[in-house]
Amino acid sequence: MPIYEYLCDSCGHQLEALQKMSDGPLTDCPSCDAPSLKKQVSAAAFRLKGGGWYETDFKSGKKKNLAGDSGAGSSSGSDSGSSGGAS
């Protein structure tokens, strides 16, 4: 779901709202109750839910960086990660 930013023209209150793309824009300011909220143009923001499916979907071969791997972040020395990882 996208996160939209709003600004009230009356009191200057700023807020972010998690809305469906099909939802209409908010109009009433929660701070001053005036119907003067305007949607701001900003960088797109969204929330990814789940256990890390997006980490592996578009990678192939040894590029996969799984969350449970002890060598996450390094592309060399995959054998050295198994020799001293138990604690």
> Domain-by-domain residue ranges, the chain?
3-39
Q: What is the mean pLDDT of residues 33-60?
A: 74
Higher pLDDT among residues 30 and 68, named by residue: 30
Asked if residue 46 lies in contact with residue 1, where contact means CB atoms within 8 angstroms, the answer is yes
Q: Is the pTM of this model over 0.85?
A: no
Q: Distance between CA atoms of 5 and 76, rounded to whole angstroms?
A: 42
Report the amino acid identity of residue 49: K
Q: What is the pLDDT of residue 11?
A: 95
- Whole-number percent of the chain with pLDDT over 90: 38
- H or E segment to which residue 7 belongs: strand 3-8
- Which pLDDT value is given to residue 41? 86
Token pair listed for 11: 């009191």
In the structure encoding, which two tokens stand for residue 18, read together?
């998690």
User: Who has greater pLDDT, 74 or 59?
Assistant: 59
